[in-house]
Structure 1
Amino acid sequence: MKRYGYRTKAVLHLMLCFLCLTACNGATDIESKPAEEETIEDTAQLVVYSGSGDSIDSWNDRFGSALQARFPNYTIKYIQKQKDFGIKELLTSGETIDIYWDSIGGFAAGLLDNGLELDMTPLMKKHHVELSQVEPTVADSVKQLAADKVIGIPIFNNNMVLYYNKDLFDKFGVSYPQDGMTWREASALGEKLTRFDQKQYVGLSSSQTHMLLMNQLSIPFIDAASEKSTLQTDEKWRTYFNTVFAGPGQSSGYVDYMKAHKDTLPYRVEFLQDRELAMFAWLSSIMFVFPEDFKAMNWDMVALPTFEELPQVGSQAYPTYFAVTSMSRQQDQAMKVIQYLLSEEMQTRLSKKGVMPVLQNEAIQAVYGQDSPFKDKNLKASFYNKFAPIPFKSRYDSLALTPYAKVANKVVLTADHNTVFRETAEEVNKKLQEARMK
């Protein structure tokens, strides 16, 4: 190998610095200024894992292809969660995970339960990554993942909107929903569409789990101090369940419909396939999860209905975080990947695909869904409302989610809400006690 003199080395160093700076033109205070030691010979072999179960095709479409182009000397292997081979099995096999990502619902538990958490604060300082331009409630949520340290960086976002089947509105001569409706108005509209015409149709329903996780009243599942269920102790839950679930369920024929469908609220199949549900509150990104079903349907979307006492406050944000793990032996390279994912360039790319960006940037939001099959839809509805504040998130929230979701069904089917709330709170508290003893 040739040996270069001091001056030659200095010239090469300056040239490399110049290349690094020009490659990052347009950088903001949140995105990527390259670390001083970065060189064009930088290489890495990184393993990325997610508990989301996101497919390899989806990973490549949203992230993998862009990362390969940005880091041609990196080999980035994505491993998706399998039904019978999750993160514990992966770690037991001896695999090293460099980057872990998941949505807010499972992120902290996935890291903490497997000892993968790393305080990324020093890496953020070294690679000039800040959260000052991230949507405020999302930026604040980072502080709730772990006290006094940063274990995850938000990369993309999600919220709730109201989808509707235009054919059913046309069939019954009812005007389409609009941005800015209240839940009272949406329920009244749903009542007009809950009718029997050769078969039973239902006007309004919601995805229970998502509506609860992202509830507009910012109610935590578990109290931070007592570490017990808030279901019976926080009166806002009653307001929430009565408004979002029980209210729409009072329409004539609604309960009969539920009883014919295993006592459950109308959901995905009833909306997308059976097409018996006129309006469905669901994730803003869901059309990209079931694209073929949505392509085959005459639909549109509006902003999530709001509570009258909280005008223009929509659901909480539901961010997805990326983290450098404590076991990674290539932490700088892994951080550079995350740094790029948060850059304006990548956030714009994601937004065009219909992946909600986390940067609070009107120009990036304006191109949302521009390159998607659904660009003619009312996609701006995703940004119509303000985000509700994100409350305390416990690592044990997942233990409460299914019982709480069952409450959404029960408050429609029974008038004895007191018993439903008490029994469910007792069930959750028992689960929490058992989990803490492990």
Structure 2
Amino acid sequence: MKNKLAMGWVIPMTAVLLASCGGNGGGSGKEGSGAPEGAVKPADQPVTLVVNNGVNSDDQERFMQDYGNAIRKKFPHVTLEYHPSAALKDRVTAQETIDIVYTSIGLTPSQLMEFGLQYDISELIKKNQYDLNRLEPSTVKMQQQLADGGLYGLPVHTTTLALYYNKDIFDKFGAPYPKDGMTWDELYELTKKVSRTEGGVMYRGFSMSFPHMMRLNQQSLPYLESKTNKVLYGSDNFKQMTENLTRFFRLPGNEGDADTAVLSKQVNLFIKDKTLAMLAHLTTSMREPAMREAFKTMNWDVVSLPYLKESPGLGPQSYPTFFYVSSTSKHKDAAFQVIAYLTSDEFQLEQSKKGIPSILKSPEVMKAYAQDDEYSAGKNRKGMIPEKYADPALYTKYSSAAEAGLLTALSRISQGQEDTNTALRVATETAEKAIKELQAK
């Protein structure tokens, strides 16, 4: 059944553009929000935009909370037809029209490009005099890498990695709490102090989200070479990065097992069993219903992800969610202008207050981060936004296919089933095969 949300197209689009677009790409528009006078105005008629989630399992209610209600308020004559991520492949196969797809940068290759839904919005940006200078620069660079200098979409929010921890476990073992600015070596030593079995209960010191640790790595290492798509897992830097992370799962009491690379299992150890002391996970994960419910009673806090000792102050990469105008859309102008509104100061400020990191450079918006978020009140919020993001690693349309073998390698290394060199060699072979299969389609 189609999920149609009655919205409209009654507000003059000039007002929208004044909230969302800037000058001519050189920042000549009105400060903070404005499109110049004379910006493009859409046809003043009702329009239905089909929106497909391509990033998570959010239902229609969550979509409305995060985006739909704001769009409805701004554009009373737009009707949004929402479809969850599980429906994306079937809709593409059935050749059904999609106007907007939204997904993370990490899933863009598999959820947009592999389906042929990408569309270069450069002309729409020019036509609407949208000011890209308002956006955090790395988000634009990511798109330019994917689109060979063009842009397929606009960022709407971002996330990154931080280190959550359970204070009760540290108190139980008399260990000091983690702190902002730690190095990975310091975290390694701290993990030893909270990895043990007591009273028949196994307490693990540290775990992580393997996919996000790889995608957002602080060394900005790509999976593939940009021009040839050569797999780069065999490089010395990649081996060092892998060893830095997997060594934690050789510590007594924190040994890896079949569940180590399964993020949902690690989250459950942290928030349900409460036997995991520290979890490196996305900063926006605290907005997930299960985490929020657990955090009501859990004695938790958060600090910045540890730094590499040779790069103090350098955090992980930014991990934006982009909204894309689909190549199949018959309403590309309307779709773009709705997406542009989601990058406006007005919308971004409200998102930031909720604890959703903004993609704008606006100091006012950044300062408002999590002000209205009751769940993180009294917590170390500054630890959730790095002093400096690492440069974005290259993504290509084959990145998702290449990643599967890498995650298998990390799991096998963590369980002691293979050494690093062997596992990464197998991952390279697996990735090369997957890329060739995609290229042959």
TM range (shorter): 0.7 to 0.9
Q: Which residue of 2 aligns with 1:278?
A: 277
Q: Aligned to 1:61, which of 48, 59, 65?
A: 65
Matched AA of 1:208: F
Per the TM alignment, residue 148 of structure 1 is displaced from its structure 2 partner at its CA by 3.0
Using the size of structure 2 for normalisation, the TM-score is 0.87
Q: Which residue of 2 aligns with 1:12?
A: none
Map Cα deviations across residues 242-298 of structure 1 (whole Å, 9 max, x no partner): 21221x23422222xx34x55657721211111111011000100111321332322
Query: Quick one: distance in 2 between partners of 1:167 and 1:211?
Result: 25
CA contact (8 A) 1:127 1:339 kept: no
Q: Aligned to 2:81, which of 68, 77, 80?
A: 77
Map Cα deviations across residues 206-249 of structure 1 (whole Å, 9 max, x no partner): 111110111111111122233232111x2111211121221x23
Matched AA of 1:416: D
Between the two proteins, the alignment pairs up a number of residues equal to 414
Q: Which residue of 2 aligns with 1:24?
A: 18
- Write out aligned runs for 1:198-237 (5 A): 198=199, 199-232=201-234, 234-237=235-238
Q: Which residue of 2 aligns with 1:9?
A: none
Query: Quick one: distance in 2 between partners of 1:145 and 1:27?
Result: 23
Among the aligned pairs, what percent are the same residue?
32
Query: Quick one: distance in 2 between partners of 1:338 and 1:22?
Result: 11
- Write out aligned runs for 1:385-396 (5 A): 385-396=387-398
RMSD: 2.5
Per the TM alignment, residue 205 of structure 1 is displaced from its structure 2 partner at its CA by 1.5
Q: Which residue of 2 aligns with 1:370?
A: 371
Q: Which residue of 1 aligns with 2:195?
A: 194
Q: Does 1:436 align with 2:430?
A: no
CA contact (8 A) 1:209 1:402 kept: no
Query: Quick one: distance in 2 between partners of 1:212 and 1:400?
Result: 12
Which is greater in Rg? Answer: 1
SS in 1 for 2:132: coil
SS in 1 for 2:163: strand
Query: Quick one: distance in 1 between partners of 2:207 and 2:369?
Result: 26
- Write out aligned runs for 1:19-418 (5 A): 20=14, 24=18, 29=29, 31=33, 33=35, 36=39, 38=41, 41-53=44-56, 54-82=58-86, 86-93=87-94, 95-198=96-199, 199-232=201-234, 234-246=235-247, 248-255=248-255, 258-259=256-257, 264=261, 267-289=266-288, 290=290, 291-376=292-377, 377-414=379-416, 416-418=419-421
CA contact (8 A) 2:154 2:340 kept: no
CA contact (8 A) 1:179 1:384 kept: no
CA contact (8 A) 1:194 1:254 kept: yes
Structure 1, gaps ≥5 residues long = 1-15
Per the TM alignment, residue 92 of structure 1 is displaced from its structure 2 partner at its CA by 4.4
SS in 2 for 1:267: helix
Flag the 1:96–1:434 CA change in 2: closer, same or farther, 3 A.
closer
Query: Quick one: distance in 1 between partners of 2:225 and 2:206?
Result: 31
Per the TM alignment, residue 389 of structure 1 is displaced from its structure 2 partner at its CA by 0.8
Query: Quick one: distance in 2 between partners of 1:92 and 1:206?
Result: 35
SS in 2 for 1:338: helix
SS in 2 for 1:201: strand
Per the TM alignment, residue 392 of structure 1 is displaced from its structure 2 partner at its CA by 1.4
Query: Quick one: distance in 1 between partners of 2:279 and 2:78?
Result: 42
Structure 2, gaps ≥5 residues long = 1-10, 23-28
SS in 2 for 1:161: strand
